[in-house]
Amino acid sequence: MNESGQLIKKPFSIIQEIEVQLENYLRRQREEIEKTLDERIEKERELARQQMAQIEEGVRKEWQALEEYGSFWEQVEEERNRILGQIREYLQRIVQRQEEIENLARATSEDIKTINQLQERLEEIRNQSMEKAAFLKKRLEEKFGLVSELPEKAAEPSTVLDLTPELEKLRKIKQLLNLETRSEVQSINLIEEAQSEEESLEKKLSKEIKKGLAEKLAGVTTAGTEASTGNREKVEVFSRSDLAEYYRQEPANGSGEIGYYQKGNKAIFEVEELLARIKAAVEEAKKLLYKITFISSAKEQFFLKQELISIQEGLRRYLQRILLLVEKKSFRFPALIQDILNQTAVADLVDLLGIQNWSSNEDLSFFEQKIISLLAAFKARTTPLSIYFTALKKELEV
């Protein structure tokens, strides 16, 4: 019995040992797998931490760049406001000088008026003297037969004062006042007041100049105007189609095309098209500025302002090309409107575009007012429009 018991017990112990070994194996495998998993998780966690650190560093740099840009923009705005302040100071000085000039011009016109009156009185005294001398001469001849050589009426050239230089100086002062009033004074919101003063001064100057010595000149001007009116009645009526074969275009520094009419050596700008180009640029800029006021995103505002700057710079290049054509290729503006739009007027617009910032409603409105004045003056001069094309056709000698 002992042997059989031992035989039965021995296989059982072997099974137990195997089970223990299997359990130990299973435990070791589980531990290795868990250890490997922990190591992998730690590596992934470390990699994730590194990636997050890179992302955070990138974001931090972007925030820093935005802060630097914001600081730079504030500096730019401060500098711009400072410069605008200086410009306004100088414009204020110009206004003060204009007031002084106007006062001097009024005083000069009063002095000229007084001189005219005195000269008229001098002429009366001289006529009375000549009449008295003639009477004495006749009386001496009749009573005593004496013939006296008394001065003739025309023998006093030294008593006649030539005020033409003074009148010319006064006319130039009036032109300067007109030029300053239509440009710088508008930028400090004195448009209506300055124009009113200008018209008042012009009327007074015109009134005084037409008196006295200027009456003959006024007569000549009137005769010339009547002759001009008579000629206009005889001029045929033309339209744009009559000049189509002479119409050309010139590239404008990547800012569109400049229209003009050419025949032989004559090249004349198409001013109606030119003004329409400027008007379109101003209208587009106003639309963008209107959008900016309703957008809160700094990024979108930035891009819209860049587009505004592009429109402003494009118009400046367009007008610069016109000036270059005038200087280098002898292009010219139509004679009919040269006092409204000319090389000087275009140069003033170029200078204004060079210092303005159309992101400012004040700057854009000021420029718009100048263009409105030009358009109004052009329309008044060329209504009906057939007058404009008729004058162009005649100037081209078509």
266-269 β-sheet, strand order: 247-251, 257-263, 266-269
Please report the pLDDT score of residue 199 as a whole number. Answer: 47
Specify which of 42-46, 181-185, 206-210 reaches the highest per-range mean pLDDT: 42-46
Please report the pLDDT score of residue 219 as a whole number. Answer: 44
Helix, strand counts (H, E) of the chain: 9, 3
Interacting residues of 255 by C-beta distance below 8 A, sequence separation 6+: 314, 315, 317, 318, 321
* 15-29, 75-89, 189-203: least confident range: 189-203
Burial grade of 80 (CB within 10 A; 0-12, 13-18, 19 or more): middle
CA distance 390 to 398: 10
Q: Measured between alpha carbons, how far apart are the two ends of the chain, in Å?
A: 147
Residue 263: strand, helix, or coil = strand
Interacting residues of 397 by C-beta distance below 8 A, sequence separation 6+: 263, 266
pLDDT of 377 over the 70 cut: yes
CA distance 396 to 325: 18
User: What is the mean pLDDT of the segment spanning 76-83?
Assistant: 86
Is-cis flag, bond preceding 384, omega within 30? yes
Do 390 and 332 form a contact (C-beta atoms < 8 A)? no
Burial grade of 337 (CB within 10 A; 0-12, 13-18, 19 or more): buried
Please report the pLDDT score of residue 116 as a whole number. Answer: 67
Please report the pLDDT score of residue 256 as a whole number. Answer: 87
CA distance 273 to 140: 79
Q: Which two tokens stand for residue 271?
A: 């001013």
pLDDT digits (tens, 9 = 90+) for 28-74: 888 889 888 888 898 888 988 888 888 888 888 888 888 887 788 88
Pairing of strands 257-263, 247-251: antiparallel
Q: Which region, left, alpha or beta, applies to residue 94 given φ > 0 means left and ψ of -120 to 50 means alpha?
A: alpha
> pLDDT tier at 327 (50, 70, 90 boundaries)?
very high
Specify which of 81-85, 86-90, 128-132, 247-251 reaches the highest per-range mean pLDDT: 247-251
> pLDDT tier at 189 (50, 70, 90 boundaries)?
very low
| The model's pTM | 0.43
Handedness of CA 293, 296, 302, 303 (dihedral sign): negative
Q: What percent of the chain has pLDDT over 90?
A: 30
pLDDT digits (tens, 9 = 90+) for 117-161: 787 777 778 777 777 777 777 766 766 665 555 444 444 444 444
pLDDT of 10 over the 70 cut: no
Please report the pLDDT score of residue 188 as a whole number. Answer: 45
Residue 162: strand, helix, or coil = coil
DSSP states along 160-204: S---HHHHHHHHHHHHHHHHHHHTGGGGGT-HHHHHHHHHHHHHH
Interacting residues of 256 by C-beta distance below 8 A, sequence separation 6+: 277, 314, 318
pLDDT of 358 over the 80 cut: yes
pLDDT of 206 over the 50 cut: no
pLDDT: is 130 or 393 the higher one? 393
What is the rounded average pLDDT for all residues in the chain?
A: 77
Instruction: Find, among 332, 329, 355, the residue nearest to 343 by Cα.
Output: 332
Please report the pLDDT score of residue 143 as a whole number. Answer: 64
User: What is the mean pLDDT of the segment spanning 189-212?
Assistant: 47
Residue type, 165: P
Interacting residues of 320 by C-beta distance below 8 A, sequence separation 6+: 253, 350
CA distance 140 to 327: 73
pLDDT digits (tens, 9 = 90+) for 272-316: 999 999 999 999 999 999 888 888 888 888 888 899 999 999 999
